[in-house]
Amino acid sequence: MISVRDLVKRFPKRGGDVVAVDQLTFEVQPGEVYGLLGPNGAGKTTTLRMILGLMTPTSGLAEIAGFRVDVDPNEVKSRIGYASATVGVYPWLTPREMVLFSADLYDVSPRIASERLDQLSELLDLGSFLNQRCATLSTGQKQRVNLARALIHDPPVMLMDEPTLGLDIVASKVVFDYIGHLRSEQKAVIICTHRLDEAQRLCDRFALLHHGKLRHEGTLDELKSATSQQGLTEMFLELLEQERDPQRKRGLV
């Protein structure tokens, strides 16, 4: 469903380019939740933006359902739902208006959109504030509105960037349930996060990114055997260690 091949993004800077994403290749199948993990600045968000067509890659390509981002950007965009902690809401619109506006952007007919909104409202428990101005909502409520907005066109692919950032336990649980729902709906999901405990619980497969490079990829068991570490956190600490001490570099994909 999602296929990324040799993706590279360089940012021109004085005194040499910064390589944000370096020769990244991976695939995600329908019904699979893929965790793109790494410390801040690892290139996770940049990768998502390139898949989404918000940013032009320096080289390489990304495909969704066989459509190339650079050739058919609209075919690609129409198949992706995008939720991010940094995405805001329109303060003067109500959640209902905002979600329906999104439906218009994705050319969902108003009738279907309003049916879907009812389902999503139930799933994400939006009912109590559906007709309230977004400016008055709490952070958790805003995030739920954004999750509903991202699903209104029922996309086969979901990209989530730090979906639980700034959320409390209750609000985070809504997000976890939502991801479970996505899996049951056979969607291909990519989650970018630096919260490894969460990732370990949510994802089926993982990619460990560091400095734009894919360091480890696989299921938790595969990673455990490759790195001889028990948890994702330990694997990361080891990655950072290798950074400081290149002699210890091993186990690269």
Partner 1 sequence: MPSDSVQNVDDSGNKKFVHRSMGFSRLRRLAAKELLEILRDRRTVVTLVLMPLLVYPLLGTIVQKFMLSSLSNLQQVEYLIAAENEEELAVIDRFLVIGESILNPEGMQRNRGGSQPNGSLQNKPVEDLIRGQLEAPPLIRLVKSDPDKLDEYVMLGVFDVGVRITNREALKKNPNARETVQFELVQREDSALSAGAYEFVTQRLEAVNDKWVEDVLRQQGVNLSRPNAVRTLTLKSEDEEQPALLTFIPLMLVLMTMTGAVYPAIDLTAGERERGTMEILMAAPVSRMALLFGKFVAVLAVAMLTALINMAAMLVTVYTLGLDSIIFGEQGVSALVVLTIFALLLVFAAFFSAVLLSLTSFARSFKEAQAYLIPIMLVALAPALLSLFPDLEMDVTLALVPLVNIILLGRDLIAGQVNLTLVTITVVSTLLYGFLALGTASKIFGSDSVLFGGTSSWSDIFARPTEMSYIPSMPTTMLFLSVLFPCFIVIGGLATRFDISIQKRLVVNAGVTSFLFVGLPLIFCTIFNLRVRTANLLNPPRLLGVLVACLLGVSVWTFIYEIEVYSLSETRLEVLKDVFETMKVELQKIPLALKLVCLALIPAVCEEFTFRGFMMSAFLKHTKVWVAIMATAVMFGLFHVFVRDALLFERMLPSSLMGILLGIVCVRTGSVIPGMILHTIHNGLLISLAHFENELKEIGFGGAEQQHIPMFWLAAAILPILIGFALLSLKAVRSQNPTAEESETAGSAPYRVH
Least separation in angstroms between residue 242's CB and partner 1 is 29
Burial class from Cβ neighbours inside 10 Å (0-12, 13-18, 19+) for residue 170 reads exposed
**C-alpha to C-alpha distance for 146 and 172, rounded to whole angstroms:** 14
Interactions with partner 1, residue window 212-241 (CB under 8 A): none
Distance in angstroms (rounded) separating the CA atoms of residues 112 and 168: 32
Q: Which is nearer to partner 1, 88 or 230 (CB)?
A: 88
Annotate each residue in 106-125 with x if it binds partner 1 (CB under 8 A) or - if it does not, as one string: xx--x---------------
Could you say whether residue 166 binds partner 1 (CB under 8 A)?
no
Q: Is 34 in the site for partner 1 (CB under 8 A)?
A: no
28: tokens are 């995600």
Segment contacting partner 1 (CB under 8 A): 49-57, 119-127, 191-199, 243-251? Answer: 49-57
Q: What phi and psi values does residue 215 have, to the nearest 5 degrees?
A: -90, -45
87 is a contact residue toward partner 1 (CB under 8 A): yes
Structure tokens at 200: 């370990």
Candidates 91, 127, 166, 180; binder of partner 1 (CB under 8 A) is 91
Query: CB of 78: closest distance to partner 1 in angstroms?
Result: 3
- Residue 59 is a binding residue for partner 1 (CB under 8 A): no
Binders in 183-202 for partner 1, by CB under 8 A? 186
Q: Please give the span between the terminal C-alpha atoms of the chain, in angstroms, as a whole number.
A: 22
CB of 194 to partner 1, least distance (A): 19
d(CA 28, CA 157): 9
Q: Please report whether residue 140 would count as binding partner 1 according to CB under 8 A.
A: no
DSSP per residue, 113-159: HHHHHHHHHHHHT-GGGTTS-GGG--HHHHHHHHHHHHHTT--SEEE
How many positions of this chain bind partner 1 (CB under 8 A)?
48
Q: Per rule CB under 8 A, is residue 1 in the interface with partner 1?
A: yes
**Does the protein bind partner 1 through residue 131 (CB under 8 A)?**
no
- Give the residue, chosen from 93, 130, 165, 226, that forms a contact with partner 1 under the rule CB under 8 A: 93
Report the residue from 6, 17, 59, 74 that binds partner 1 according to the rule CB under 8 A: 74
Residue that is written with structure tokens 């007919």 in the block: 109
Render 73-95 in DSSP notation, one character per residue: HHHHHHTEEEEETT----TTS-H
Q: Is 92 in the site for partner 1 (CB under 8 A)?
A: yes
Task: Specify whether the backbone of 41 is left (phi greater than 0), alpha (psi in -120 to 50) or beta.
Answer: left
Give the residues lining the site for partner 1 (CB under 8 A).
1, 3, 11, 27, 30, 49, 52-56, 63-67, 72-75, 77-80, 82, 84, 86-93, 97, 101-102, 104-107, 110, 133, 149, 154-156, 186
